[in-house]
């Protein structure tokens, strides 16, 4: 084989597209019910946009960026996520938003990260995101979290758990980091090598260590949730209360951190435990500083993003059968070359009536063409040969019922239409 899709990329084949349409339709439906508008932003942006919004020290920017220079020497990068572009768009166009009516936006499309591929982890992958911009009210945090939750429920993804946390505002999270580092460095030598490295890069990660002795040590460490300032604590209470009112089940998990620097206050993840190391379907949080940081007006915002492949993989794993689409309804079978003209006209009439139809290979036998109908769930076959041309009566076969009737040429379409719409 001469060419193959580049590492970490893949083709969505015709037999698989229904899976994508299935989940995309649910996203469209739910976002529209909540009055969110779709937007489309570029697939590449200035490199600096991601460096500044996602954060210089994050894995995404440090080692996973598809950065390149264009012919004019501009530093660009394929987007590793969607929120940075959304925030840029809002700041750039000074899109109007207010407490009373925040901007409600959603997007879907490919994202790119240079990481080692695995099942459920690709270099080009698809995400959708939902963003609510302009309100700091905890009810919109809950709204965003609920939309993601409902999409997963509606899609029938099994055994999802929703974990929420608050990472505080810059002030209280800063204070907390100092507190936690003090605690960790006190017994630095007692931790495993990984944890000692984590202490410098991302101290919160020490909480995830599987090593028993580390777990013991960290048990008494100060918790972010205990260090929230009054405003952040109040906000977090508000989010929890609102989720309860919405009857969205959640766990408070102080270890939810998120790998992007722009999050403030609310952080959350939708998790599953049956896709190996890929246990996050998506997540999100509040980013109250980002839009201003990118040169816009001071604008609070909250959003989520989810990976489409992981949703599809978990559905496949659960044995879900995706709705069929694009099923052929009619096969027109010309018998002999004389019937070609009439068959083409038949096809055109069927199409005008919104009935899917194709013309059969006339060099193949009638029997084989009917066999094709059986195998491919085609509802009707229309046979047109010398006899039919002479009499003006076409043979219409109901494949599933194995029934056959002779119908006047002019009435074939309405006959079939009647059956397909379930009238008879």
**Near RNA in 15-74, by CB under 7 A:** 58-60, 63
**Which tokens go with 242?**
């609102």
Is residue 416 a contact residue for RNA (CB under 7 A)?
no
User: Binder to RNA among 19, 79, 104, 121 (CB under 7 A)?
Assistant: 121
Identify any residues that bridge with 163 across adjacent strands, giving them in sequence order.
251, 269
What CA–CA distance (Å, rounded) separates 160 from 274? 10
Is residue 119 a contact residue for RNA (CB under 7 A)?
yes
Question: Binding string, 132-171, against RNA, x = CB under 7 A?
Answer: ----------------------------------------
What CA–CA distance (Å, rounded) separates 15 from 19? 9
Cα 19 from chain centre:
11
End-to-end CA distance of the chain: 51
Is residue 399 a contact residue for RNA (CB under 7 A)?
yes
Is residue 365 a contact residue for RNA (CB under 7 A)?
yes
Number of residues that bind RNA (CB under 7 A): 75
Is residue 383 a contact residue for RNA (CB under 7 A)?
yes
Identify any residues that bridge with 375 across adjacent strands, giving them in sequence order.
none
Is residue 257 a contact residue for RNA (CB under 7 A)?
yes
Give the nearer residue to RNA in terms of CB position, either 137 or 149.
Answer: 149
Is residue 364 a contact residue for RNA (CB under 7 A)?
yes
Is residue 385 a contact residue for RNA (CB under 7 A)?
yes
Residue that has been written with the tokens 């697939």 in this structure: 43
Give the nearer residue to RNA in terms of CB position, either 95 or 312.
Answer: 312
User: Binder to RNA among 306, 331, 332, 413 (CB under 7 A)?
Assistant: 306
- CB 230 to RNA: min, Å: 28
Q: Where are the alpha helices (DSSP H) in 42-187?
A: 47-54, 59-63, 83-93, 138-154, 170-186
User: Binder to RNA among 186, 219, 247, 402 (CB under 7 A)?
Assistant: 402
Give the number of other Cβ atoms within 10 Å of residue 60's Cβ.
Answer: 19
Which residue, among 152, 154, 166, 155, has the nearest Cα to 270 in the 3D structure?
152
Which residue, among 123, 125, 110, has the nearest Cα to 8 in the 3D structure?
123
Give the nearer residue to RNA in terms of CB position, either 367 or 422.
Answer: 367
What CA–CA distance (Å, rounded) separates 166 from 154? 27
- CB 282 to RNA: min, Å: 4
Is residue 303 a contact residue for RNA (CB under 7 A)?
no
User: Which residues, 273 to 302, sit near RNA by CB under 7 A?
Assistant: 276-283
Is residue 177 a contact residue for RNA (CB under 7 A)?
no
Instruction: Name the segment binding RNA (CB under 7 A); options: 4-12, 68-76, 225-233, 316-324.
Output: 4-12
- Do residues 145 and 251 touch, judged by C-beta distance below 8 A? no
Which residue, among 240, 248, 235, 265, has the nearest Cα to 161 in the 3D structure?
248
User: Binder to RNA among 131, 266, 310, 407 (CB under 7 A)?
Assistant: 310
Instruction: Name the segment binding RNA (CB under 7 A); options: 16-24, 230-238, 294-302, 385-393.
Output: 385-393
Is residue 116 a contact residue for RNA (CB under 7 A)?
yes
Phi-psi domain of 234 (left: phi exceeds 0; alpha: psi -120 through 50; beta: other): alpha
What are the phi and psi torsion angles at 169 (to 5°)? -95, 175
Instruction: Specify the pairing of strand 251-252 against strand 264-271.
Output: unpaired
Give the nearer residue to RNA in terms of CB position, either 232 or 281.
Answer: 281
Give the nearer residue to RNA in terms of CB position, either 176 or 270.
Answer: 270
Identify any residues that bridge with 302 across adjacent strands, giving them in sequence order.
132, 286
What CA–CA distance (Å, rounded) separates 321 from 236? 39
Give the nearer residue to RNA in terms of CB position, either 95 or 331.
Answer: 331
Identify any residues that bridge with 67 across adjacent strands, giving them in sequence order.
77
Give the nearer residue to RNA in terms of CB position, either 8 or 238.
Answer: 8
User: Binder to RNA among 50, 122, 191, 268 (CB under 7 A)?
Assistant: 122
User: Which residues does 422 contact at the CB level (< 8 Å), separation at least 6?
Assistant: none
User: Which residues, 200 to 239, sit near RNA by CB under 7 A?
Assistant: 202, 205, 208
């Amino acid at each position: 084989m001469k060419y193959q899709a580049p590492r970490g990329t893949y083709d969505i084949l015709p037999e698989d597209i229904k899976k994508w349409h299935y989940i995309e339709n649910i996203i469209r439906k739910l976002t529209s019910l909540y009055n969110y508008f779709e937007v489309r932003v570029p697939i590449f942006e200035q490199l600096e946009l991601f460096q500044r919004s996602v954060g210089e020290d994050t894995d995404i920017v440090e080692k996973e960026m598809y950065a390149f220079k264009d012919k004019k020497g501009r530093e660009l990068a394929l987007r590793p996520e969607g929120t940075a572009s959304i925030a840029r768009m809002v700041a750039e166009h000074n899109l109007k938003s207010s407490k009373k009516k925040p901007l409600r936006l959603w997007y879907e499309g490919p994202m790119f990260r240079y990481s080692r591929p695995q099942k459920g982890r690709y270099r080009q992958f698809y995400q959708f995101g939902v963003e609510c911009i302009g309100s700091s009210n905890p009810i919109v945090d809950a709204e965003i979290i609920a939309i993601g939750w409902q999409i997963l429920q509606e899609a029938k993804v099994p055994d999802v758990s929703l974990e929420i946390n608050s990472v505080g505002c810059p002030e209280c999270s800063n204070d907390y980091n100092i507190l936690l580092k003090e605690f960790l460095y006190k017994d630095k030598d007692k931790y495993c090598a990984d944890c000692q490295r984590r202490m410098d890069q991302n101290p919160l990660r020490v909480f995830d260590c599987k090593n028993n002795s580390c777990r013991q040590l960290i048990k008494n460490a100060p918790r972010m949730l205990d260090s929230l300032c009054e405003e952040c604590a109040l906000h977090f209470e508000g989010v929890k209360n609102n989720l309860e009112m919405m009857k969205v089940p959640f766990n408070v998990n102080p270890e939810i951190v998120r790998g992007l620097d722009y999050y403030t206050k609310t952080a959350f993840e939708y998790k599953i435990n049956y896709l190996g190391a890929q246990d996050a379907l998506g997540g999100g949080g509040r980013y109250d500083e980002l839009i201003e940081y990118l040169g816009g007006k001071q604008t609070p915002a909250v959003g989520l993003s989810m990976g489409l492949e992981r949703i599809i993989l978990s559905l496949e794993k659960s044995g879900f059968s995706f709705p069929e689409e694009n099923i052929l309804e009619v096969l027109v079978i010309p018998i002999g070359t004389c019937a070609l003209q009439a068959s083409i006209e038949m096809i055109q009439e069927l199409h005008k009536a919104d009935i899917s139809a194709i013309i059969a290979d006339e060099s193949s036998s009638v029997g084989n063409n009917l066999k094709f109908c059986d195998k491919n769930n085609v509802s009707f076959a229309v046979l047109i040969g010398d006899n039919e041309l002479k009499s003006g009566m076409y043979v219409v076969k109901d494949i599933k019922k194995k029934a056959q009737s002779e119908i006047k040429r002019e009435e074939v379409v309405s006959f079939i239409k009647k059956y397909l719409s379930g009238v008879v």
